Amino acid sequence: MQRALRLAATPGVPLGPNPRVGCVLLDGSGAVVAEGLHRGAGTPHAEVAALREAGEAAAGATAVVTLEPCNHTGRTGPCVDALLAAGVRRVVFAQPDPNPVAAGGERRLREAGVEVAFGLLEREARRLNRAWTFALEHHRPFVTWKLATTLDGRSAAADGTSRWISSRPARLDTHRLRGECDVMMVGTGTVEVDDPRLTVRDEVDAPLPHQPLRAVVGMRELAPDRQVLGDDAETVLLRTRDPHEALRALHERGRRHVFLEGGPTLAAAFLGAGVVDEVVAYVAPQLLGAGLAAVGDLGVTTMADAVRLHVDDVTVLGSGAETNVRLTMRPLPAPGTPAKETP
**Angle (CA) 114 115 117, round 5°:** 130
Range 232-235 contact pairs with CB under 8 angstroms and sequence separation of 24 or more: 232/197, 232/199, 232/207, 233/198, 233/199, 233/207
- Are 169 and 49 members of one domain? no
Range of the domain at 156: 134-331
Question: How far apart are alpha carbons 57 and 29 in whole angstroms?
Answer: 13
311's enclosing H/E stretch is strand 309-317
- Are 138 and 66 members of one domain? no
Closest CA to 334 of 293, 295, 300: 300
In a domain, 337, yes or no: no
* Alpha helix segments (H runs only) across 229-293: 243-252, 264-272
**Angle (CA) 205 211 214, round 5°:** 105
The predicted pLDDT at position 340 comes to 60
In a domain, 64, yes or no: yes
- Are 160 and 17 members of one domain? no
In a domain, 343, yes or no: no
Question: How far apart are alpha carbons 233 and 193 in whole angstroms?
Answer: 20
Question: How far apart are alpha carbons 190 and 260 in whole angstroms?
Answer: 12
The predicted pLDDT at position 122 comes to 97
In a domain, 143, yes or no: yes
In a domain, 208, yes or no: yes
- Are 166 and 102 members of one domain? no
Q: Which of 106, 128, 150 is the last residue of a domain?
A: 128
In a domain, 340, yes or no: no
- Are 43 and 180 members of one domain? no
Q: Which of 128, 161, 180 is the last residue of a domain?
A: 128
Please identify every stretch of the chain with a pLDDT value under 70, giving residue numbers as ranges: 335-343
CB 215 within 8 Å of CB 184: yes
The predicted pLDDT at position 338 comes to 59
Buried b (16+ CB within 10 A) or exposed e, 94-109: bbbbbbeebbbbbebb
79's enclosing H/E stretch is helix 79-86
Buried b (16+ CB within 10 A) or exposed e, 220-240: eebeeebebeeeebebbbbee
Q: How many distinct structural domains can be found in the chain?
A: 2
**Catalytic entry in 35, 47, 68, 278:** 47
- Are 180 and 286 members of one domain? yes
- Are 222 and 323 members of one domain? yes
The predicted pLDDT at position 231 comes to 93
Question: How far apart are alpha carbons 86 and 82 in whole angstroms?
Answer: 6
- Are 213 and 90 members of one domain? no
The predicted pLDDT at position 76 comes to 74
The count of C-alpha atoms lying within 13 angstroms of the C-alpha of 255, restricted to the half-sphere facing its C-beta, is 25
- Are 25 and 113 members of one domain? yes
Question: How far apart are alpha carbons 166 and 322 in whole angstroms?
Answer: 8
| CATH code, domain carrying 63 | 3.40.140.10
- Are 189 and 326 members of one domain? yes
The predicted pLDDT at position 155 comes to 93
Q: Which of 113, 128, 143 is the last residue of a domain?
A: 128
In a domain, 174, yes or no: yes
- Decide if 47 is catalytic: yes
| CATH code, domain carrying 147 | 3.40.430.10
In a domain, 225, yes or no: yes
- Are 174 and 138 members of one domain? yes
SS3 content of the chain, % helix, strand, coil (to 5): 30, 25, 45
- Are 171 and 97 members of one domain? no
